[in-house]
Structure 1
Amino acid sequence: MRQIVLDTETTGLSADSGDRIIEIGCVELLNRKLTGNNLHFYVNPERDSHEDALKVHGISNEFLRDKPKFAAIADELLDYLRDAELIIHNAPFDMSFLNKELERLGRPPLNGLIAQVTDSLVMAKEMFPGKRNGLDALCDRLGVDNSGRTLHGALLDAELLADVYINMTRGQDALIIDLESTTSDAGEVIQIDLSGIELPVIGANEQEQQVHERVLSDIDKACKGKTVWLHLASENANH
């Protein structure tokens, strides 16, 4: 399945309150690899951006005056997205704006045209609970170079998110040996059965055990003797 990493920039935060799309950036993945078949539009929103939004994306109202309106780019965008899986960071936000633009044109919601929507923000929160999971934070955490991101931009952010997504889902291919050589003539990835491989179990040596006991003792002192595992170990030893 084609995957399209998508991002938008808008005049504000609420599609229902009349805010509009000003930029759309799309990056295509096939078999989790960048194809270079990307799509990018600046869009005349027919209204000015809010001051706070301008501080985020830096795209001036004057710059957008001569850009095509959404109606002019809708067919090309929909043809590009058709049957693909969309990967979007905070998907409800972007989807609400895209569907509102389609509603203005009397067209059905985008959901019926595409295969599915994957929210990378939800994925990140599951992988890194309690941590910051904005795009910049994920780039820093996963080693994705975002040094060129001084302002938000739909295409740049989609490109960064594609790298972030590939890094977040890399474990899905961790048990595939030599991906290139395990692909069938039909282009399907062949999973290798590793169930027969015995992994060695390496126990701690005496020195490592002593260090471990000292660390546990220090923790127990800091907790004033209330560490649960020591009580459990003592109970098990007495049975």
Structure 2
Amino acid sequence: MRQIVLDTETTGLSAEGGDRIIEIGCVELVGRKLTGNNRHFYLNPERDSHEDALKVHGISNEFLRDKPLFSAVCDELMEYLAGAEIIIHNAAFDVSFLDKELERVGRPAFKTFVASVTDTLVMAKEMYPGKRNSLDALCDRLGVDNSSRTLHGALLDAELLADVYINLTRGQDALLIDMGTSDNFGGIVTRVDLTTFTLPVLVANEQEAAAHEEVLKQLDKASGGKTLWRIGSSGAVA
């Protein structure tokens, strides 16, 4: 499976309000491994960045004056992204800006070019309800080194997000067993069909059940009572 981790930097927070993309960073994963086939663009937004945005990305208006317009890199970018699963942190934000840039050059919406868009912010909120789930917070939680991130940068953030995504989805790895080596194919790998196994069911004792219930209560409290397991048969939150 081909996946592209994507990040943008912008002149401000509102695509509809006229803010523009100034930087795009893309990192390719194939089979959940970095390939090095990345893309990175600085863009002339034809307007200045807001002061607050400058404090976030540190990319000066002067630096961007001689950079290409989005229209000049659009074909290369869309061909690179075509058919891939796109992984973005807070995808609604980046996609809204990409949609607006594509609209300006008469191209269809972003999602028509790609297979799907995966939002790691949505994933993280489901896995860590009630906790901070910014990219920096996830790097700290998942052991990803972000010490070089003093300012936001699209390519660096995409590289960090790739590591975060791999850690978030580590449990999705297929169960594979190496059955030997082959001179021609570099190793024979077979998938194990788990439906052929009958696994014993171990029932929790009273102490374990009580400890589990306490963890659920803490999660419920942290999420403000919005956890799904508290919804009763009547559909109301207990």
TM-score range (shorter-chain normalised) is: 0.7 to 0.9
Tell which structure's C-alpha radius of gyration is larger: 1
Matched with 1:53 is 53
Partner of 1:96: 96
The one-letter amino acid paired with 2:118 is T
Which residue of 2 is the match for residue 236 of structure 1? none
Q: What is residue 146 of structure 2 aligned with on the other side?
A: 146
Query: In the TM superposition, what is the alpha-carbon distance from 1:197 to its structure 2 partner?
Result: 6.3
**Which position in structure 2 is the counterpart of 1:73?**
73
Give the 3-state SS of the residue equivalent to 2:176 in structure 1. Answer: coil
Q: In the comparison of the two structures, how many residue pairs are matched? A: 204
Higher helix share: 1
Give the whole-Å Cα distance in 2 for the aligned partners of 1:16 and 1:198: 55
Give the alignment of 1:23-34 within 5 angstroms.
23-34=23-34
**In the alignment, is residue 116 of structure 1 matched against residue 116 of structure 2?**
yes
Q: Give the distance between the partners of 1:28 and 1:41, measured in 2 at CA.
A: 15
Q: After the TM superposition, which residues 190-209 of structure 1 pair with which residues of structure 2 at under 5 Å, given as runs?
A: 191-195=191-195, 196=197, 198=199
**How far apart, in 1, do the equivalents of 2:111 and 2:179 lie?**
32
Structure 2 counterpart of 1:70, one-letter code: F
Distance, in Å, in 1 between the alignment partners of 2:180 and 2:90 is 33
User: Counterpart in 2 of 1:4?
Assistant: 4
Runs of 5+ consecutive residues of structure 1 not aligned to the other structure: 220-239
CA contact (8 A) 2:177 2:190 kept: no
Is contact 2:24-2:41 (8 Å) kept? yes
Deviations 1:1-28 (A, max 9, x none): 3100000000000000000000000000
CA-CA distance at 1:173 after TM superposition = 1.3
SS in 2 for 1:124: helix
% same residue:
74
State the secondary structure of the residue aligned to 2:172. Answer: helix
TM-score, scaled to structure 2 = 0.78
- In structure 1, what is the equivalent of residue 62 of structure 2? 62
Letter in 2 for 1:73: V
Which residue is equivalent to 2:131? 131
In structure 2, distance between residues paired with 1:8 and 1:78: 15
| CA deviations over 1:45-65 (Å, ceiling 9, x no partner) | 000000000000000001101
Query: How far is the alpha carbon of 1:110 from its aligned partner?
Result: 1.3
Cα–Cα, structure 1 residues 190 and 11, in superposed 2: closer, same or farther, change >3 Å?
Answer: farther
Task: Give the Cα–Cα distance (whole angstroms) in 2 for the partners of residues 172 and 14 of structure 1.
Answer: 35
Deviation at 1:192, TM superposition (A): 1.3
Inter-CA distance 203–77: structure 2 relative to 1 (3 Å threshold): closer
Q: SS of 2:162's equivalent?
A: helix
What does the per-residue CA deviation read over 1:154-191, in whole Å, with 9 as the maximum and x for residues that have no partner? 0000000000000000001163345998xxx7xxx853
Q: CA deviation at 1:106?
A: 1.1
Report the equivalent of 1:85.
85
Question: Matched residues in 2 for 1:44 and 1:55: separation?
Answer: 18
